Amino acid sequence: MAKTMAQLPYHYGVKVRIFPSTEQKWLIKRNSDASRFIYNQMNGMNNDLFWLKQVKIPITLVLDRIADLTERLKKPSTAISNIHGWLNHPDFDSLMKANAIKNYKTAWKLFRQVHQAGTPKFHKRGYTQTYQTSCLYSAKVTGPTMHNGSVRLNDSHHLQLPKLGRLRFKGLPSKILEQADDIRIGTTTVSMDAVGHYFVSMQIGSEHPFVSEQSVIKSKVGIDLNLENFLTDSNGQVIDNPHYYRTIRGKLAKAQRKLSRRARRAKKSQRRLSESKNYQKQRLLVAKLQLKVANQRKNFLHHVSTALIKNHDLVVAEELRSKNMLRNHALAMSISDVGWRTLLGMLAYKADLYGRKFLTIDPRNTTQTCSDCGYVMAGKNKLTLADRKWTCPNCGVFHVRDHNAAKNILAKGLATL
């Protein structure tokens, strides 16, 4: 019997750009809207059930409504489709409905585990589209591959999706195409960004690793993330902060002001924004500017994270709480622009992928401690953000602030191991 996705030892994610026809674009929009509607229906039923249970007086009408909602939530897909008959239209992917309900339940599960993002919220309609489907294999298929499921590759440039049919794509790595017969496809996400580019993201699994095993280098490194320069490691190497957002900040602000004026003009003449062609042209221009910055930053972070993981057996970083740091309005823009949390996430999954070790440590006193003698700067001697270089009053060793912090981070990581 073939293994399920959860049973496969190696997992990978790929995102490819697709080029749908006009009819396929309409089907993507329909399924995206339906997915959002089902998610919101689930949220609405659960909210109603919660507040009705707060009523302590045994009113028959309330008790009947509670019983009805409880029964519906046992089989939500059937209940929602029975009430809203338009969801039974053949244009809709049945697996899209199941995934929308699954995503809602996952949101609750994450809330119970983390308690930071809050309870699930209603999804608003926007300029992006997204829905999820799954790859199913028939009972006759003994060896699931990328060529014989409901989501499958027809050739190196075309793939097949439920309801959408044949789609041209580009961007699939050659190493995936070469071992497609040993790979199983799982959850698949179809999406459109604010610029109008369409993508398919596939979760794939295999019995064999997706990257070749890296040789042992016996190299360990600690990294200090800061705003002065993007990154300083314990070997003294410095990576400059590219400041992608700052380079287009003025141009973006000008474009956004123009967008705001066109929105006010459309509102004054009582036209919908979706019908205002000048507004939509400017909205697309703003979206392209923002997408360019996001892509530049992502590309930079991928290069940095891959180089760190490939060149070191152990990478140690400080555990940053970006959400708390963003409360400092003087530094909020710079912190958002630099992408620290994204880098740490990349390092974590690439370490698993390449068989390396990555860990984060508590950054407490890593800046204030002398890496040579362990003396902690406190009281009047405590370093401020302006102190980029200092000399230890205990042992007299001269330190560059960020390099010293990186050494302490590595030492803490080794002590943890």
Rounded Cα–Cα distance for residues 24 and 37 (Å): 20
Q: What confidence tens digit (pLDDT) does each residue in 267-307 have?
A: 999 999 999 999 999 999 999 999 999 999 999 999 999 99
pLDDT exceeds cutoff 90 at 114? no
What is the H or E stretch that residue 228 is in?
none
Closest CA to 36 of 111, 115, 92, 82: 92
pLDDT digits (tens, 9 = 90+) for 210-236: 888 788 888 999 999 888 888 999 998
Residue type, 412: K
Q: What pLDDT digit, counting tens, does each position of 239-273 carry?
A: 998 889 989 999 999 999 999 999 999 999 999 99
Pairing of strands 198-206, 10-19: antiparallel
Please provide the size of the chain in residues: 417
**Residues of 153-185 as b/e, b for ≥16 C-beta within 10 angstroms?**
beeeeebebbbbeebebeebeeebeeebeebbb
Residue 154 has pLDDT above 70, yes or no: yes
Q: How high is the pLDDT of residue 330?
A: 61
Question: Looking at the annotation, which residues are catalytic?
Answer: 224, 318, 402
- CA quadruple 229, 233, 239, 245: dihedral positive or negative? negative
Angstrom distances, CA of residue 353 to CA of 134, 206, 297, 318, 339: 24, 13, 22, 21, 21
Rounded distance, CA 18 to CA 2, Å? 29
Distance of alpha carbon 87 from alpha carbon 90, whole angstroms: 8
Tokens of 172: 């699939």
Hey, what amino acid is at 216? V
Assigned token pair, 17: 């750009």
